Amino acid sequence: MNYEHIGRMISDKVRTYDNQTALRFKHENEWKSLTYGNFGNKIHQLAKAMITAGVQRGENVGIYSANRYEWAVTDFACILAGAVSVPIYSTNTKEQAEFIIRDAGIKLIFVGNSFQYENITAILSDSAALKIISYDPEIEIDTRVAHYFEDFSSTPPAPEAEQILEQRQNDIKKEDTTTIIYTSGTTGNPKGVMLTHANLFHQLDCLDANFDVSAKDTSLCFLPLSHVYERAWSYYVYFKGAVHTYLEDPKQVIDTLQEVKPTAMVSVPRLYEKIYAAVMNSQENASFVKKMLFKNAINTGDTYYNRIKHKEPISLSLRLKHKLFDKLILSKIRGVVGGDKNFFSAGGAPLEQSIEEFFFSCGLLVCQGYGLTETSPMISYNTPHSFRFGTVGKPVPNCEVRIAEDGEVQVKGPQVMKGYYNNPEKTAEDIVDGWFKTGDIGEFDEDGFLKITDRIKDLIITSGGKNIAPQKIETYVGKDFFIEQIVSIGEKRKFISALVVPSFDALETWAKEKGVEYSDMEDLIKHPKVIQLYRDRIDHHSRNLARYETIKKFRLLSEPFSVEGGEITPTLKLKRKAINEKYKRLVDEMY
């Protein structure tokens, strides 16, 4: 990249794509849009307002909100003003937000809705000196400490603001910190990962080298912008002059996919798992003829697209057969995700190979990749030109990956973070001689594709001495239509057990069809027919597991794991230690 910093990049794209649509967002149930020119004006205006309000070069500014276009305006404005954006997950509790605010020394914070605003005002009562800017004009604010976004942004700038703005942009170097992203760690307090402009430009270069995205593309932004995965992708969308569509409520993603019809986007495996589970469940009650048609369609799609992949000839009969099945079945499955795609991307957790293969047979390529916040995030990826299902692809360009003696994946390259904010000891522990220690266990296959098997600290060692990767079990079993969440148990125990959170809507529909009577969810999950349903489904999905990996006993839970309950992180990672402690009585019963 020839740009010195991300701010210069967005300013250049604003000029290049001036009258083209930059982004879309929903307001009062209608889609609105902003051109690149209007987007740039809002960024520039906010940057001057921040300088006028006293924001200093290098100062940390908080963004505590769900996805919305104002989030992006604020992020870019921080860069132009020489400040450092510090995102906080919109679902973070008051205590979690307070830790980040105090650790990063945040004095100015942007909030999205009443939940975030009330958490911040509660922190204020604990004597933190904060200025609050609310994106939502509908919530009631205390004007002594808070302003509405539009009011703050339209503040008449100080006479010298424009000059200061230009000077600060001239002073920014590629090695300067762009953002501090606090990892939603599964243990202990989160760590502030300092990412530089150089880190992020490396990621844009990697995407540009192997993916074909242009101003004709549309992306759906539904993963949290507070996560580096969606954030880096968002920079790339604007770098290519494409259209970014912001979704505030990720629960609406499937409906929104059909409205927006994105041509390229990033996601986590859970979206693909849910769509796959819904499609496969619909086949369970289908007629014999429909089942056969579906099976033949998938098999035909598999043959057809694999011939394309391997550049093999496609016979006329296969072309005609595929055209028929595509019209009858495969195109309808693609319709669930809004039609044809250049590609999907999956990251953040393992995606089961059979699900990748299923989507590929339907004409949808899911490019699974791997990385961490500390690596900006990409370490490896599958691409449209080089992919192997069941792996996380090959290392990205200009990046070294090695497997240590204990199986740990270690990485060296321009994407490795500057370090942890206020934590030089942890930085020195995790980066040794330029090599970042990921904490993940992996291996390369004979063609250089990387496989990640689990986290070192998550490995279960049974009382019989068996080393078991819980993610493998959870990936196989967790794809079921009737399962929303699952955690494997077994550390120093005789066998593997599990705590299972049902997909409550699916379970209640099933119970109604089967005439199962119950008073509440607690009553339903104890019903013998329900327990047998889950026993059968768990066993069905465990066929490819080793005997010692299979789930011998399980308990159903009437409440989902949540951030508020302390069982998962904002990025949906399981807090295994917290779950074991919280459900100790239930776990002990199984043994």
Domain-embedded: residue 262: no
| Final residue in a domain of this structure, among 144, 172, 200 | 172
Split at pLDDT 50, 70, 90, the class of 548 is: very high
Angle at 332 between CA 324 and CA 277, to 5 degrees: 120
| Structural domain for 475, as ranges | 459-590
| pLDDT tens profile 223-264 | 999 999 999 999 999 999 999 999 999 999 999 999 999 999
Closest to 27 in 3D by CA, of 75, 70, 89: 70
Domain-embedded: residue 362: no
Q: Which amino acid is at 204?
A: L
- Longest Cα separation, the chain: 76
Cβ-based neighbours of 40, under 8 Å, separated by 6 or more: 10, 11, 14, 15
pLDDT for res 463: 87
| pLDDT tens profile 339-366 | 988 888 999 888 999 999 999 999 999 9
Contact in structure between 430 and 437 (CB atoms under 8 Å): yes
Domain-embedded: residue 233: no
CA pair distance 296, 293, nearest whole angstrom: 5
Cβ-based neighbours of 589, under 8 Å, separated by 6 or more: 555
- The percent of residues in the chain predicted with pLDDT above 70, rounded, is 99
466 has a pLDDT exceeding 90: no
| pLDDT tens profile 283-305 | 988 999 999 999 999 999 999 99
CA pair distance 432, 265, nearest whole angstrom: 34
**In terms of DSSP H, where are the helices of 244-392?**
253-260, 269-284, 288-309, 316-325, 331-336, 353-361
Split at pLDDT 50, 70, 90, the class of 591 is: very high
376 has a pLDDT exceeding 70: yes
139 alpha carbon, distance to own chain's centre: 28
pLDDT for res 187: 62
Residue with tokens 């990697």: 206
The CATH number assigned to the domain holding 575 equals 3.30.300.30
Average model confidence (pLDDT) for the chain? 94
pLDDT for res 581: 93
pLDDT for res 83: 98
Could you tell me the two tokens for 449? Answer: 């594709």
Domain-embedded: residue 102: yes
Q: Beta-strand (E) ranges in 217-263? A: 218-221, 243-246
Over residues 376-389, mean pLDDT: 96
Domain-embedded: residue 188: no
The CATH number assigned to the domain holding 129 equals 3.40.50.980
Contact in structure between 195 and 177 (CB atoms under 8 Å): yes
Domain-embedded: residue 378: no
Closest to 169 in 3D by CA, of 234, 83, 75: 83
pLDDT for res 129: 79
184 has a pLDDT exceeding 80: no
12 has a pLDDT exceeding 90: yes
40 has a pLDDT exceeding 80: yes
| CA distance readout (Å), 574 to 96, 269, 277, 455, 578 | 17, 14, 21, 12, 9
pLDDT for res 2: 86
186 has a pLDDT exceeding 70: no
| pLDDT tens profile 45-69 | 999 999 999 999 999 999 999 999 9
Domain count, the chain: 2
pLDDT for res 273: 93
CA pair distance 253, 568, nearest whole angstrom: 21
481 has a pLDDT exceeding 70: yes
126 has a pLDDT exceeding 70: no
| pLDDT tens profile 80-118 | 999 999 999 999 889 999 999 999 999 999 999 999 999
| Final residue in a domain of this structure, among 128, 144, 172 | 172
Over residues 382-411, mean pLDDT: 96
Cβ-based neighbours of 430, under 8 Å, separated by 6 or more: 374, 420, 436, 437
| Final residue in a domain of this structure, among 172, 205, 229 | 172
127 has a pLDDT exceeding 80: no
Domain-embedded: residue 359: no
pLDDT for res 326: 96
Split at pLDDT 50, 70, 90, the class of 571 is: confident
